[in-house]
Chain A
Amino acid sequence: MYTTWKKYLGGIMLVAFCLVPAAQGWTQDPPRTIELDSLSHLYEGVTFDHVLHVDLGESCAVCHHHGTGAPVQDENCARCHSNAEKTKVVTCKECHPVDPFSAEYLRERELDAKLYHRDKPGLKAAYHQNCMGCHEEMGGPTGCQDCHGRTEAGDAMFRAGAYAPQGGAAPSQH
């Protein structure tokens, strides 16, 4: 005669097996495309083809320089960060602040005397430095509008498109 729990053992094991990735924080495969639009004002957000880049890169750590559990790629970083730990969230904006020069952020950094990495770029700089670095090497898109078109506000600020200066005025210096 089976005890009750043994009868359901198979079912329990199946459920437990499915819960393992959830326990690590990943309930699904990495997303196929990601909308990067937390900074869109002068330029539209970027529809980032994640699948394409997963195929292109040898390791998650090429872009997600830490947080995915893959060993860090930059040899300078690896001197100290030899243990690759997984974090729950691996998005750029998790660590890189939208406004890295606000008085509050600077004050916080000033008060934290033991902080080693005082030179963390803001989110906009992190995106561009990470993406453009590789794009320049690998022949990817490097023009501003290749990845994100300009908005109306952007055209106004850059005096481009519909806001371009009229007439062929000579340069103002003499």
Chain B
Amino acid sequence: MKISRRRFLAASLACGAATSLTVTKNALGAGTFEGYPEGMGVLVDLTRCVGCRSCEAACNKEQNLPEPAQPFDDTSVFDQTFHGGQKRRPDENAYTVVNRYDQPDGKSPVFRKIQCNHCNEPACLTSCFVNAYTKTKEGAVVYNPKVCVGCRNCMIACPFQIPAYSYSSAFDPVVKKCIFCYDTRLKYGKPPACVESCPQGVMTFGNRKELIKIGNDRIKARPDRYVDHIYGENELGGTGWMYLAGVDFEQVGFDTTVGKEPIISNVKEFLGTVPMVLAIWPALFTGFHLLAKKKEHHSHAEQEDADQ
């Protein structure tokens, strides 16, 4: 078929524009964020935790959470299980919980504090289409209940299953999770309430990059005491709250299969090609269609010529 020069130039321009809409450097840049330079973090040393639950009590007070079912010095909560064997987890009334992991051979149990890990590239933030989550420059991942539509995709996305939902509220349910005490403390450079309350110095608050150095120094000074890994240093692109332990991390409930790529890497290459596909495929398939129908049109024209 004959294409006029004008149509050819117009089509090329359109294809060029479409290709320029494809994945930009910015979009591909997602997944390489290593945290703000002044981002704070917390190093949680599980070899020091004795399960006193002072952190749970401090969080409850600081965040004005409702009265718990049991007092915070009640250690029988460590024996509670849910859904056939699962230990406690943060919920709408408790932004942080401590669980006990018994060890074999009469060794003392390991206690583990769970809370939002304030990832560098959070999955909750990635999955939220209304931008309800923000990674602040101080390092906290905070949530804005005013724009939230309650889709709860963030709860599905979080690889640590942290965001909890206030199902108990009929008319104003919101996502509930640890906010690193941003509003009351972190904004002003102060450590969160749990860190301040801990009698054993389990949590060390500081600049995230500095904490990685401190963690490595601790491992080097006492290699018999620590497993040679800082959980959260690289996991999922790095988390603000990192862990040291004296036993293998799987044994104390950590997911060691999460990998080093942030959650956004699962979709960013695929999604980056969408503009290009939407622009080029119609043109491409129209071209195929016209090529395929070319014979018909020609024979149709010949027929008309022959008839005349």
Contacts and interface: CB of A to CB of B under 8 A. Distances in A.
Interface of A: 76, 101-103, 106, 110, 118-119, 121-122, 124-129, 132, 136, 142, 144, 157-160, 163-165, 169-174
A165 B199 contact: no
A122 B61 CA distance: 22
B201 A164 contact: no
16 contacts: A102-B190, A118-B210, A118-B214, A119-B214, A124-B201, A126-B201, A127-B199, A129-B48, A129-B200, A144-B199, A157-B61, A159-B60, A165-B69, A165-B71, A170-B69, A172-B93
Contact of A159 (B72, B214, B221): B72
Contact of B91 (A128, A144, A164, A173): A173
Interface in B59-73: 60-61, 67-73
Given A76-B222, A119-B217, A157-B57, A125 B199 contact: yes
Given A158-B57, A172-B93, A173-B88, A128 B201 contact: yes
A158 B73 contact: yes
B72 A160 contact: yes
Contacts of A118: 210, 213-214, 217
A106 B207 contact: yes
Nearest to A145: B73
A173 B89 contact: yes
A115 B101 CA distance: 36
Among B57, B91, B218, which residue has the most Cβ atoms of chain A within 10 A? B57
A172 B204 contact: no
B206 interface: yes
Interface of B: 48, 50, 52, 54, 57-58, 60-61, 67-74, 77, 80, 82, 88-89, 91-94, 108, 188-191, 195-196, 198-201, 204-207, 210, 213-214, 217-218, 221-222
A124 B200 CA distance: 7
Contacts of A163: 71
Contact of A172 (B48, B92, B199, B200): B92
Contacts of A128: 199-201
Nearest to A126: B201
A102 B190 CA distance: 6
A21 B218 CA distance: 38
A130 to B, nearest CB: 11
B58 A157 contact: yes
A101 B196 contact: yes
B80 A110 contact: no
Among A101, A110, A127, which residue has the most Cβ atoms of chain B within 10 A? A101
B73 A160 contact: yes
Given A129-B48, A171-B80, A101 B70 contact: no
A157 B61 CA distance: 7
Nearest to B218: A119
A118 B52 CA distance: 26
A172 B94 contact: yes
A110 B210 contact: yes
Nearest to B61: A157
Contact of B201 (A76, A122, A136, A144): A122
Contacts of B57: 157-159
Contacts of A136: 108
A126 B198 CA distance: 11
Nearest to B202: A125
B190 A165 contact: no
Contact of A132 (B54, B61, B200, B218): B200
A173 B71 CA distance: 16
A127 B201 CA distance: 10
Given A101-B191, A158-B57, A160-B71, A129 B222 contact: no
Contacts of A169: 69
Among A128, A159, A163, A170, which residue has the most Cβ atoms of chain B within 10 A? A159
A164 B13 CA distance: 74
A125 B198 contact: yes
Contact of A110 (B60, B70, B207): B207
Given A103-B190, A157-B60, A165-B67, 19 more contacts: A76-B222, A101-B205, A101-B206, A102-B189, A106-B207, A119-B204, A122-B201, A125-B198, A125-B200, A132-B50, A132-B200, A158-B54, A159-B57, A159-B68, A165-B70, A171-B82, A172-B94, A173-B91, A174-B82
